[in-house]
Structure 1
Amino acid sequence: MQHVRVYTDACLLFVEHKVSWDDARKSCRSFGGDLVMIKDSAKQKFILDSLIFEHWNTQNIWIGATDKAKEGDWRWIDGSQVTYGNFANGQGNNHNTRRFIFSDGSNEDCALIRRSDGGLWHDYPCAFGLGSLGYHYTYACEFTRSGYGTTIGPTNQTGSTDISNHTSSMAPITSTIETMAPSTANPNIETPAPTTAMPNVETPAPTTMANIETPAPTTLPNSETPAATMSNIIGKKRRL
């Protein structure tokens, strides 16, 4: 997450991603700026107030002071000497403590703000290496307002605020994220038209039975049966 605030003629970019001092500086320069330089107490206060305002959840923030070129000669990344110093006791120009038995402070060449120590500055190793143990912290970049126009990725916009008697407002957010336009129509898919008629199936015509001549019923010849008479019946009974 990144947070942008404006201080006088500068834009300050606070980056929550934790890296070494060397990588933090590379990141700031890739945006067109550099690590923040704090040359007076007003700017120091503005930065601390901004971190509170942004609900910053880490304690250490890299800043752009170093004595890489010459041990004990602290300079800002623009080459100017650190005349306003907010180093804690035993840090910076007066380094006389050891964090570990193999560290005498000579490799601790980069400055950071330690919020847990009231915002005082401490010196730490700049990059991973012997004695550095991979110190990775958040960092603050600085840009001139006229030069702040590069794409820096998603930014958390928090609104305009005056928190240290300096006119403060949000810098214009120039980061852009390309978003695919939503599709307004489904792709044309050819769908076969529904069949409305059953396929023609030839049905054989009903078979007509052949005419078969049926012989007319035979009429039996009339056999004349003599009518029964009473005399005949009586005669039969007698014979019985």
Structure 2
Amino acid sequence: MQQELVYEVKDNIATIRLNRPEKLNAFTGEMLHAWHDALLESEQRDDVNVVVLTGTGKGFCSGGDVGSFAERHGVETAYSRKQSLAHRVHRIPLLMERMDKPVLVAVNGVAAGAGMDMALMGDIRIAARSARFAETYVRMGIFAGDGGAWYLPRIVGVPMALELLFTGRFVDSDEAKQLGLVNRVVDDDQLMEATYEMAANIASQPPLAIKMMKRAVYQSMHIDLRTHLDLASSHMGTIFTTEDHKEAVAAFREKRKPVFKGC
């Protein structure tokens, strides 16, 4: 039986690959559990500095499997549906919010509905030229319940977020770049090479410094400047005591490439 999700670690980079290409990687309950477990393992492993998320085939993720929607009618109560989201989909953004390790998303095709939301949960997005994005919930007569209504306005601003949520229209890769939905657009056959090149660059940096920078950026979105600077001074005090900082200074003086150990 085909694995619905493939997980591997190489050169301090963990790759999570959604693997239902025949369904444009529409997720199932089993895939969501495997997705969460892969993220949790990446968070806990000392040999993982960066996580790459992508999909197999022509699509990144088309969201929930629409074919299963009709089966739920008359079976699920409002409360059971709420619990299902909390215990399956919502575990992923909550875990990703907690993770200090960078998550790069390589969007290799359509990212729709919850699939777009999953892409937005990453820290950096690189899109294939063929990639398309849409918050398609409205087309199914449902609400953007997987995080899109939280992530989208923080990335593109409230007016544009509402336009995309209200209309469910598709955004191509060029418009996605213009709106700030993605960091970079590359030709389809260059997507993974470009993604791993960036991931390798980040993975080669001092891990603790990367973690604290990511933490500081996301913390700063919810606090005032004075509180941010207070936290930053604490982070800096900690970083100055690390072996990686000492190694960076020594390597600079000795004109050699530093070797970081994450301590």
Using the size of structure 2 for normalisation, the TM-score is 0.23
Using the size of structure 1 for normalisation, the TM-score is 0.25
